[in-house]
A and B are shown apart, each in its own frame.
Chain A
Amino acid sequence: MDLLLLAERENTLLGQDFLTWLWFKSEMSDGQFQLDDGERFLLFMEQRMSVQGGEGENVDTATVNSSSGDMTEVLMGLKTGKKVNRAQIRMEIDENEWQVQIKAEDFGLSGLKTPKVEMKDEEGDDPDSKFLEKIYLIEKCLSLLDSVYMDFIKIRISKEWQDEVSKFRHWLRNDED
């Protein structure tokens, strides 16, 4: 099979499995995650989310944009076999906060907001300092996302994935209680 065609199938499969799993994972752990070096951070999926199901011409999508964080409708979607295909993610370390929307099929990032970078120029500042601070914050955000993706991918290709899916189903059912 053509590598790009294969990648397209795998991209959607992995991207949607990841975002769907990530929602469950962050709910189960109260948003607590950890980097390899032990640094802790919080990660939540919030406000905007969309789920997708079906194939070919029969793709159905349900999108929720809720400021109150009511995700009932996308949960309903999950229960009918849909998967998360777009999500808004918020990450926090201490006082610092990042926000980003991520697309399952290609990991395209939009609306990436980093902690605030001071835009005023002070005398004697390195002219590149604003850029360097901003790119540091962007790369930090990417490293947090990569770290949860790495957690996911390790378990996704392992035998433990079925256990994880069982836990997921339990979580989805418990939601009704």
Chain B
Amino acid sequence: MKQTARDGARRTTANRRPRSWKNLGWVLFFLLPSAIPLFVFTLVPMVSSLWVSLHRWNLISPMEWVGLGNYTNLLTDPMTRRVFLHTLAYVAGYLPIVYAGGLLLALALNQKLKGRAFLRATYFLPVVTSWVVVALVWKWLLNPTNGLVNQLLGAVGLPEPGWWTDPAWALPAVILSSAWKDLGFVMVILLAGLQSVPGDYYEAAKVDGANAWQRFWRITLPLLSPSTFFVVVISLINGFQVFDQVYVMTGGGPAGSSQVVVGQIYDLTFRYGRAGEASALSWLLFALILVITVVQIRGQRKWVHYA
């Protein structure tokens, strides 16, 4: 039998830790094309971001060491609390809407309906459209003076909100358009989850006399919990990073009423020349996302059931 690389591999499974560098050429060949760009365009900026966050810097004049000054400044600045609260409010409004809507759609389109494929494709279309387009189109639809939505609301005698010109409605306007865009994504993930639920479970439950409502709560929802977990984790991570639609629809206004964390990072850097604080804020955001994600992964045992 020939001496091959596989023999080396088999030996190493025996004592776990491979000691030889004889594969080095192949390792470099296969890994460098991804390792170099990840190093230069992710790891280096990551480390330098930490460095920048410890300085006062306007991107032009020399950096000035402030230690943790930027972090303590941010934590005492009421603007920080505002942008985090707006981001939280966005997530808190957006997540229940897309989950409930996506679940209803997934349940409906899991039935034997004519034109099911077409309907699924239709609901998914906004997902492939860019945030900027979605924000612009909805800004037009929600135009307070002559937008279609307010014309319709007016026609049936309902109040016409100022949407993106009214501080109270700017964030809801962003939530509404975001939910419209992402509904199809949630639907597809939940549909995939539904399709992996074995049909015999329902048959057995029917035999035992469970009604449709009980079957939904006792079978469908628990078996959907892995997909639900995925949707919640992804939506929270993306939700805390919301930027494009806010920037285009409201620009964080009116009067900062819809400014979110990433918008603040952008403004601090490119409008106010406070790159140090912007970097510190981005690390605070990252820390928050990390904590929330870890807590969810830890907590999943309590409610996520893998079939």
Binding between chains A and B: no
Chain B contact residues, CB within 8 Å of chain A: none
